[in-house]
Amino acid sequence: VQLQASGGGLVQAGGSLSLSCAAPKNIFTIKTMGWYRQAPGQERELVATISRDFSTTYVDSVKDRFTISRDNDKNTVYLQMNNLKPEDTSVYYCTADIQRYPQIATKTYWGQGTQVTVSS
């Protein structure tokens, strides 16, 4: 299963960017979806998650600035990032807990990563 991430890029501090990540259509169900990020020399950090019934969680540093959402019909998760700060600069990775078939266990899949750079 391949997750296709898009978005990201270079923006000045205070600006906005939007990320999206799509899973294939031929999947039994997708449970939790989320976004992680990893800056050079740092550990990967969980940024936000969203359950299938749209419950969300955020790391404190992005609360009130980032919004995670999903479209279950499109198997897609989004991350709207507003008021970006230089410390948000990272490679962002999407994840999805996917059950491919009813008789198969759920497994976590990762997108390829997309660079977000915020200049001061």
DSSP 6-45: EE-EEEETT--EEEEEE--S--SEEEEEEEEEE-TTS--E
Per-residue model confidence (pLDDT) at position 69 = 98
Cα 14-8-100 angle, rounded to 5 deg:
135
Per-residue model confidence (pLDDT) at position 1 = 86
- Span 4-9, average pLDDT: 94
SS3 category, 120:
coil
Per-residue model confidence (pLDDT) at position 107 = 97
Query: What is the rounded CA–CA span in Å between residue 58 and residue 45?
Result: 11
